[in-house]
Amino acid sequence: MNRRDFIDKSSLLFPSVLVSPKIIGDLDVKKIKTGNKRISSPYVISTWNVPEANLIAGESLDKNMNAIDAAIRGVAYEEANIKNTTVGNGGSPDRDGNVTLDACVMDENGNCGSVLAVENIVHVAALAKDVMEKTPHVILAGKGARKFALDQGYKPENLLSPESKIDWLDWLEKGNYNPKINVENHDTIGMLCRDKAGNLSGACTTSGLAYKMQGRVGDSPIIGSGLFIDNEVGGAVATGLGEEVIKTVGSFLIVELMRNGLNPQEACEKAINRIISKHKGKPNFQVAYIATNKNGEIGAYSIHNDFSYTFYKNQTNQNIKSKSVF
């Protein structure tokens, strides 16, 4: 996939790609009750340049949607977006040609749900929430997750787009198994939302590493690695080479660093430096984090300088270049 262009301070209209009605739901039934609580300004922060997804979540929060549902609704745009080859429909397959998706969600009460290596189901972040709410479990994997999705009424779909199939067949010609996360090989969406009640929740959804080994699962559906929320402290989400995020339990680390007094920027930098310190010289892989705390501060940091994030607040959607080590 080509690197996307940056946009600056754009206010965007609703996108033409439709999100499944199951995800959109009815805004009225999802309204949060702020009661006597002070109403805070909602905001959304997402990995990479995802203006439409971020705007959907932001506008949903403005209309009183709660943070977890807004995040799921926002990321659903990229899950349905066939042009994003790292998420959902149109995602790059594993090296045997199977598109397998990973996702997780976490809410303000510390509840979480996750699905691993799911085939034929587009909206896996919503599925992760169903695991959280409708099963006694936190994680469902593979065939079991797919069966649960079908039981819940999700429609099975072929997720291998013609374009992703052509790219995979090209790759097969060389069959050079050296998966890397670099400038051309990313776009996992991790999203953190704060709603009007001041609650934080998040979602992370991906097709993982292009041409991965069958059964490989990265950080994105692993609570604490790809995503972590503690509503008393803040939240963090990761993108990049999942193996490196898992080894340092990156998102949990960032939230704990914030708990100990670091602001989100300092915490993201420390977590990236933890990874760097385990490698000699300049790593040839990318990892990036975004984070926010209860005060509404945000931070982002990456190993390489191609990372950006999207930030929505007060009806303004901005793509912002992240600071980086290199």
239: contact with ligand SD4 by CB under 6 A: yes
Q: Does 94 bind ligand SD4 (CB under 6 A)?
A: no
User: For ligand SD4, which residue of 120, 188, 199, 248 counts as binding (CB under 6 A)?
Assistant: 188
Residue 102 near residue 77 (C-beta atoms within 8 A) = no
298-310: string of b/e by CB count within 10 Å (b at 16+)?
bbbbbbbebbbbb
**In the complex, minimum distance from the CB of residue 67 to ligand SD4, in angstroms, rounded to a whole number:** 22
Q: Determine how many CB atoms are found less than 10 A away from the CB of residue 285.
A: 17
107 binds ligand SD4 (CB under 6 A): no
What is the CA 23 to chain-centroid distance, rounded? 16
**Vertex 109: Cα angle to 103 and 113 (nearest 5):** 20
User: Nearer to ligand SD4 by C-beta: 186 or 313?
Assistant: 186
Interaction between residue 49 and ligand SD4 (CB under 6 A): no
Question: With binding defined as CB under 6 A, does residue 240 bind ligand SD4?
Answer: yes
Interstrand relation of 43-47 and 139-141 (parallel, antiparallel or unpaired): unpaired
Could you say which of 181, 236, 272, 291 contacts ligand SD4 (CB under 6 A)? 181
Q: Which of 107, 187, 256, 269 binds ligand SD4 (CB under 6 A)?
A: 187
Task: Supply 54's token pair.
Answer: 């971020």
Choose, from 47, 85, 86, 188, the residue flagged as catalytic: 188
| Residue 86 annotated to the active site | no
186 binds ligand SD4 (CB under 6 A): yes
- The answer to the question of residue 242 lying near ligand SD4 (CB under 6 A) is yes
Under 8 Å between Cβ of 71 and 78: no
Is residue 209 near ligand SD4 by the rule CB under 6 A?
Answer: yes
Tell me: does residue 220 bind ligand SD4 (CB under 6 A): yes
Cβ-based neighbours of 142, under 8 Å, separated by 6 or more:
116, 117, 118, 119
Closest CB 181 distance from ligand SD4, rounded Å: 6
Instruction: Strands of the chain (E only): list them.
Output: 43-47, 101-106, 112-118, 139-141, 189-194, 200-206, 227-230, 234-240, 287-293, 298-302, 308-313, 316-321, 323-324
Q: Distance (Å, rounded) from C-alpha 8 to C-alpha 183?
A: 20
Under 8 Å between Cβ of 205 and 264: no
Residue nearer to ligand SD4 on the CB measure, 122 or 181:
181
Distance separating alpha carbons of residues 281 and 242, to the nearest angstrom: 19
- Counting Cα atoms < 13 Å in the Cβ hemisphere of 313 gives 12
Asked if 86 is part of the footprint of ligand SD4 (rule: CB under 6 A), the reply reads: yes
Least separation in angstroms between residue 189's CB and ligand SD4 is: 8
- Kindly write down the DSSP assignment for every residue of 291-323, as one continuous string: EEETTS-EEEEESSTT-EEEEEETTEEEEEEPE
Question: Between residues 154 and 289, which has the closer beta carbon with respect to ligand SD4?
Answer: 289
Q: Does 79 bind ligand SD4 (CB under 6 A)?
A: no
For 259, the 3-state DSSP assignment is: helix
* Amino acid letter, 5: D
Is residue 149 near ligand SD4 by the rule CB under 6 A? Answer: no
> Taking contact as CB under 6 A, which single stretch among the options 92-100, 172-180, 233-241, 252-260 is the one that binds ligand SD4?
233-241
Taking contact as CB under 6 A, which single stretch among the options 17-25, 124-132, 139-147, 238-246 is the one that binds ligand SD4? 238-246
Which CB, 220 or 318, lies closer to ligand SD4? 220
**Which one of 66, 84, 206, 322 is in contact with ligand SD4 (CB under 6 A)?**
206
Shortest Å distance, C-beta 52 to ligand SD4: 17
Catalytically annotated residues: 188
Binding site for ligand SD4 (CB under 6 A): 86, 181, 186-188, 206, 208-209, 218-220, 239-242
